[in-house]
């Protein structure tokens, strides 16, 4: 388990820091990050938990970033970000770094991170949801999957010239991304995305 994922170590039932030396025969328990729980006044080995988790995804995790945005989580992603920039973003913006690169986790600046075991994007997002206890704070369809901007309802007449005529005739409700101005509606893709959300809510 990378040190970035460890939030609490107990030796013989007592909370200790990383520097504690073992003499032999002790009973050691290691716990992962408690982003959604307060474990004060124990020795936290990571920064104060993020009550509203935000993420930055490694360059190979574009689909995962889109899935997290689908669930409503603020997730930065750019396929041009190098390791140094990713480490800086997670530190400066207090974001949880998502990566499969163990070497990236060894950087000192990276204090919040989740090392992904699976290569499958849907399994990856299930890993994160389970590890950080995120099911209760899903806000589906509130972020743009393309750019991460927030979505807001827009009057139907305002999109008359921005969507195909057949779409305008068929649908009554639309949303617009406040950043990139893309327009969204509940088309055929909507049911597929709802299915993903349902599976994640049911996962263990």
Mean pLDDT, the chain, whole residue set: 87
Residue 145, both tokens:
């999957």
What is the mean pLDDT of the segment spanning 15-19?
Answer: 81
Taking only the tens place, the pLDDT of each residue in 158-204 is 999 999 999 999 999 999 999 999 999 999 899 999 999 999 998 76
143 with 74: CB under 8 angstroms? yes
> Kindly report the CA angle at 163 between 160 and 164, in degrees rounded to 5?
105
Taking only the tens place, the pLDDT of each residue in 35-85 is 544 445 555 455 555 457 999 999 999 999 999 999 999 999 998 999 999
Higher pLDDT, 62 or 27: 62
Classify 11 as helix, strand or coil: strand
Query: Do the bridges between strand 55-57 and strand 75-76 make them parallel or antiparallel, or are there none, so unpaired?
Result: parallel
> Is pLDDT at 148 greater than 90 in this prediction?
yes
Taking only the tens place, the pLDDT of each residue in 92-141 is 998 999 999 988 988 888 888 899 999 999 999 999 999 888 998 999 99
115 with 100: CB under 8 angstroms? yes
Query: Do the bridges between strand 183-184 and strand 75-76 make them parallel or antiparallel, or are there none, so unpaired?
Result: unpaired
Higher pLDDT, 101 or 29: 101
Placement of tokens 């889109």 in the chain: 66
> Kindly report the CA angle at 56 between 52 and 58, in degrees rounded to 5?
150
> Is pLDDT at 16 greater than 90 in this prediction?
no
């Amino acid at each position: 388990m990378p040190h970035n994922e460890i939030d609490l170590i107990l030796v013989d039932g007592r909370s200790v820091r990383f520097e504690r030396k073992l003499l032999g025969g002790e009973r050691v328990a290691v716990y992962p990050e408690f982003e959604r729980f307060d474990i004060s006044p124990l020795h936290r080995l990571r920064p104060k938990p993020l009550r509203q988790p935000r993420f930055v995804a490694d360059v190979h995790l574009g689909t995962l970033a889109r899935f997290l945005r689908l669930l409503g989580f603020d997730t930065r992603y750019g396929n041009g970000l190098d390791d140094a920039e990713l480490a800086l973003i997670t530190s400066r913006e207090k974001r949880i770094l998502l990566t499969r690169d163990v070497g990236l986790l060894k950087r000192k600046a990276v204090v919040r991170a989740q090392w992904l075991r699976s290569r499958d994007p849907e399994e990856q997002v299930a890993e994160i949801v389970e590890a950080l206890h995120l099911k209760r704070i899903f806000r589906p369809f509130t972020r743009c999957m393309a750019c991460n901007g927030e979505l807001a309802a827009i009057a139907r007449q305002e999109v008359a010239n921005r969507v195909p005529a057949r779409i305008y005739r068929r649908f009554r409700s639309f949303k617009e991304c406040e950043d990139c101005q893309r327009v969204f509606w509940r088309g055929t893709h909507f049911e597929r995305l709802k299915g993903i959300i349902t599976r994640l809510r049911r996962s263990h």
